[in-house]
A and B are shown apart, each in its own frame.
Chain A
Amino acid sequence: MSKHHVSTIINGEPVEFLCEPQQTLLDVLRDELNLTGSKEGCASGDCGACSVIVDGRLVCSCLMLGVEAEGRRITTIEGIADGDRLHPVQQKFLEHAALQCGFCTPGLIVAAKALLDENPNPTEEETRYWLAGNLCRCTGYDKVIRAVLDAAAVIRGEAAQ
Chain B
Amino acid sequence: MTFVGPKENLKVVGTRPVRPDGVDKVTGRANFGADMTMPGMLWGKIKRSPYAHARIVSINYDKALALPGVKAVVTRADFPDVPPELAYIGEAPANLRDLSRNCMAKGKVLYEGHAVAAVAATSPAIAEEALDLIEVEYEVLPHVLDVEAAMAPDAPVLHEDVFTLGVDPKPTKPSNIAKRIQFVKGDIEKGFAEAEVIIARRYTTKPVHQAYIEPHACVVSVASDGQCTIWSSSQGQFMVRGYTARIVGADIASIRAIPAEIGGGFGGKTIVYLEPVAYMLSKKAGRPVKMVMSREEVFRATGPTSGAVVEVKLGAKRDGRLTAAQAVLKYQSGAFPGSPINQGCTCAFAMYDIPNAVVTGYDVLCNRPKVAAYRAPGAPIASFGVESCIDELARELGIDPLALREKNAAKDGTKAVHGPTWVNIGYVATLEAAKASEHLKSPLGPNQGRGIASGYWHNAGGESSAAVHVNEDGTVTVTGGHPDIGGSRASMAMMAAEVLGVPYERVRPIVGDTAAIGFSAVTGGSRVTFAGGMAVTRAAEKVVEDLKRRAAIMWDISPEAVEWRDGKAYPAGANAGSFEPLSLAQIAAKAARTGGPISAEVQLNAQGQGPGFATHICDVEVDKETGRVKILRYTAIQDVGRAIHPSYVEGQMQGGVTQGIGWALNEEYIYDQNGRLENPGFLDYRVPVASDMPMIDTVIVEVPNPRHPFGARGCGEVPIVPPMAAVANAICDALGVRLRDLPMSPPKVLAAIDAATPLAAAAE
Contact = CB atoms under 8 A, between A and B. Distances in A.
A14 B482 CA distance: 41
B681 A46 contact: yes
Nearest to A146: B695
Contacts of B266: 137
Given A22-B125, A132-B689, A139 B654 contact: yes
Contact of B27 (A20, A47, A81, A133): A81
A94 B655 contact: no
B261 A143 contact: no
Contact of A97 (B19, B294, B659, B689): B19
A34 B486 CA distance: 26
Contacts of B212: 101, 103, 137
Interface in B1-34: 16, 18-19, 21-32, 34
B682 A46 contact: yes
Nearest to A125: B691
Contacts of A134: 689-690
B526 to A, nearest CB: 14
A137 B213 contact: yes
Contacts of A20: 125
Given A36-B31, A128-B693, A138 B264 contact: yes
Contact of A41 (B213, B486, B647): B213
Interface in A64-118: 76-78, 80-81, 86, 90, 93-97, 99-106, 109
B571 interface: no
A103 B690 contact: no
A145 B688 CA distance: 14
Contacts of A135: 213, 682, 687, 689
Contacts of A30: 34-35
B211 interface: yes
B648 interface: yes
B262 interface: yes
A77 B681 contact: no
A27 B18 CA distance: 32
A95 B261 CA distance: 20
B682 A44 contact: yes
Interface string A8-49: 000000000000101000000010001111111111101101
B696 interface: yes
Given A46-B682, A97-B487, A41 B28 contact: no
A157 interface: no
A121 to B, nearest CB: 18
B90 interface: no
A45 B215 CA distance: 15
Nearest to B652: A100
A50 B748 CA distance: 34
Interface residues of A, number: 58
B26 A94 contact: yes
B690 A128 contact: yes
Nearest to B490: A97
Contacts of A129: 690-691
Interface string B595-606: 000000000000
Interface string A123-160: 00101110111111111111111100000000000000
B636 to A, nearest CB: 10
A140 B25 contact: no
A138 B375 CA distance: 11
B270 interface: no
Nearest to B483: A101
Contact of B690 (A38, A77, A94, A131): A131
B690 A144 contact: yes
B174 interface: no
Interface in B241-278: 261-266
B25 A99 contact: yes
B651 A138 contact: yes
Greatest chain A CB density within 10 A among B22, B34, B692 is at B22
A94 B26 CA distance: 8
A101 B485 contact: yes
A142 to B, nearest CB: 5
Contact of B696 (A35, A78, A142): A142
A93 B266 CA distance: 22
Nearest to A36: B35
Contacts of B693: 128, 140-142
Contacts of A137: 210-213, 264, 266, 655, 659, 687
B331 to A, nearest CB: 23
B583 interface: no
B202 interface: no
B657 interface: yes
B369 to A, nearest CB: 18
B295 interface: yes
B763 interface: no
Nearest to A44: B681
B194 interface: no
A99 B214 contact: no
B658 interface: yes
A132 B686 CA distance: 12
Contacts of B210: 137
B27 A97 contact: no
Contact of B28 (A22, A77, A138): A77
Given A135-B689, A139-B655, A142-B654, A46 B683 contact: yes
A94 B18 contact: yes
Contacts of A34: 37
B25 A102 contact: yes
Contacts of B21: 102
Nearest to B264: A101
Contacts of B650: 97, 142-143
A118 to B, nearest CB: 17
B520 to A, nearest CB: 18
A129 B497 CA distance: 41
Interface in B631-656: 645, 647-648, 650-652, 654-656
Contact of A100 (B16, B294, B651, B690): B651
A145 B28 contact: no
A140 B654 contact: yes
Greatest chain A CB density within 10 A among B27, B34, B486, B658 is at B27
Greatest chain A CB density within 10 A among B25, B487, B656, B688 is at B25
Contacts of A103: 32, 212-214, 261-264
Nearest to A20: B125
Contacts of A77: 27-28
A134 B691 CA distance: 10
22 contacts: A30-B35, A35-B28, A36-B34, A36-B35, A39-B34, A40-B215, A42-B682, A44-B681, A47-B213, A49-B213, A100-B485, A101-B262, A101-B263, A101-B265, A103-B261, A103-B263, A103-B264, A106-B26, A128-B690, A138-B264, A141-B654, A141-B693
Interface of A: 20, 22, 30, 34-44, 46-47, 49, 76-78, 80-81, 86, 90, 93-97, 99-106, 109, 125, 127-129, 131-146
Interface of B: 16, 18-19, 21-32, 34-35, 37, 125, 210-215, 261-266, 292, 294-295, 485-487, 645, 647-648, 650-652, 654-659, 681-683, 687-693, 695-696
Given A99-B26, A140-B654, A140-B657, 4 more contacts: A41-B213, A94-B18, A100-B651, A128-B693
- A-B pairs with the 10 shortest C-beta distances? A37-B28, A103-B263, A102-B25, A140-B658, A140-B654, A46-B682, A97-B647, A100-B486, A77-B28, A36-B35
